[in-house]
Amino acid sequence: MSLIEIKHVNKGYKLGEETVPVLKDINFTVEKGEFVAILGPSGSGKTTLMNIIGCMDVLDSGEYFLNGRAIHEMRESELTQVRNKEIGFIFQNYQLIPTYNVMQNIIMPLLMRGMIHKEAVAQCQDIVKLLGIDHRLGHRPNELSGGQKQRVSIARALASKPSILLADEPTGALDTTSGQEVLKLFCELNEMGNTIVMITHDMNVAKSAKRIVKIIDGELLAEQ
Ligand X SMILES: Nc1ncnc2c1ncn2[C@@H]1O[C@H](COP(=O)(O)OP(=O)(O)OP(=O)(O)O)[C@@H](O)[C@H]1O
- Residues in contact with Mg ion by the rule CB under 5 A: 46-47
Q: Which is nearer to ligand X, 53 or 103 (CB)?
A: 53
The answer to whether 33 and 52 have CB atoms below 8 angstroms apart is: no
Judged by beta carbon distances under 5 to 8 A according to partner kind, the member of Mg ion, ligand X, none in contact with residue 44 is ligand X
Per 3-state DSSP, what percentage of the chain is helix, strand, and coil (rounded to 5)? Answer: 40, 30, 35
Judged by beta carbon distances under 5 to 8 A according to partner kind, the member of Mg ion, ligand X, none in contact with residue 195 is none
Q: Is 45 in the site for ligand X (CB under 6 A)?
A: yes
Q: Is 46 in the site for ligand X (CB under 6 A)?
A: yes
Interface residue with ligand X, options 4, 35, 36, 47 (CB under 6 A): 47
Stretch that binds ligand X, among 45-53, 120-128, 131-139, 149-157 (CB under 6 A): 45-53
Rounded Cα distance, 162 and 26, in Å: 24
Rounded Cα distance, 166 and 195, in Å: 9
Q: Is 78 in the site for ligand X (CB under 6 A)?
A: no
Rounded Cα distance, 115 and 136, in Å: 23
Q: Is 48 in the site for ligand X (CB under 6 A)?
A: yes
Distance, C-alpha 115 to centroid of its chain: 23
Judged by beta carbon distances under 5 to 8 A according to partner kind, the member of Mg ion, ligand X, none in contact with residue 45 is ligand X
Rounded Cα distance, 38 and 88, in Å: 17
User: Where do contacts with ligand X occur on this chain (CB under 6 A)?
Assistant: 13, 22, 40, 42-48, 201
